[in-house]
């Protein structure tokens, strides 16, 4: 009853043409702008128990301290081993303390395990303190503990009137 009309059908030569290939060629350089595939996260840098460092450490990666550090540490994740001692300020997104820190701790997430010993202030967004942890200092919650607040600076007092001669 009904028949298919050949008026709207493409010509046989048109599908045989590699029309998408020329269009794909200009798009290939555009694919060079794509982000590279995610790389496997490198393992944490480990400072062994026989290592003693005097100086500051700064990385965007992870650090596991088993030795002694006299200086400030800035990292993404800082893990302080049970035999480790850090004397200085610690700033990290995540801080896990199994050992000893003498100094200020700043972290989005701070965790003091049962073997932790912290002598200094802790500025955090979230904190967990296990039973048995030793902590001497103050605890302060901030939405952004990684940045030092300029409001914490002392307010200037008005100058005393000068004596006239």
Q: What are the pLDDT digits (tens) for 107-127? A: 999 999 999 999 999 999 999
pLDDT at 27: 52
Question: What is the value of pTM for the model shown?
Answer: 0.66
For residue 151, how many other CB atoms are within 10 A of its CB?
Answer: 6
**pLDDT score at 147:** 85
- Compute the distance between CA of residue 50 and CA of residue 9 in angstroms, rounded to an integer: 79
Please report, in tens digits, the pLDDT of each residue of the chain (165 residues total). Answer: 555 656 555 665 555 555 555 555 555 555 555 666 666 677 889 999 999 999 999 999 999 999 999 999 999 999 999 999 999 999 999 999 999 999 999 999 999 999 999 999 999 999 999 999 999 999 999 999 988 764 444 444 455 555 554
Answer for the pair 38, 54: CB distance below 8 angstroms, yes or no.
Answer: no
pLDDT of residue 119: 97
Q: Is 16 helix (H, G, I), strand (E, B) or coil?
A: helix
86 CB-contact burial (10 Å; exposed 0-12 / middle 13-18 / buried 19+):
buried
Under 8 Å between Cβ of 84 and 65: yes
pLDDT at residue 43, as a whole number: 80
Going from N- to C-terminal start, the domains of the chain cover 45-147
């Amino acid at each position: 009853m009904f028949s298919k009309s050949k008026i709207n059908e493409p010509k046989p030569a048109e599908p045989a043409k590699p029309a998408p290939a020329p269009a794909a060629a200009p798009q290939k350089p555009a694919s060079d702008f794509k982000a590279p595939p995610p790389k496997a996260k490198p393992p944490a840098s480990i400072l062994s128990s026989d290592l003693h460092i005097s100086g500051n450490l700064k990385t965007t990666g992870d650090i596991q301290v088993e030795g002694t550090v006299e200086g400030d540490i800035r990292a993404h994740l800082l893990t302080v081993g049970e035999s480790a001692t850090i004397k200085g300020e610690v700033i990290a997104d995540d801080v896990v303390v199994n050992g000893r820190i003498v100094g200020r701790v700043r972290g989005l997430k701070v965790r003091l395990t049962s073997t932790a010993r912290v002598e200094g202030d802790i500025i955090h967004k979230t904190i967990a303190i296990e039973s048995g942890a030793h902590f001497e200092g103050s605890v302060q919650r901030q939405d952004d503990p990684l940045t030092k607040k300029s409001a914490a600076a002392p307010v200037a007092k008005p100058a005393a009137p000068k004596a006239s001669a």
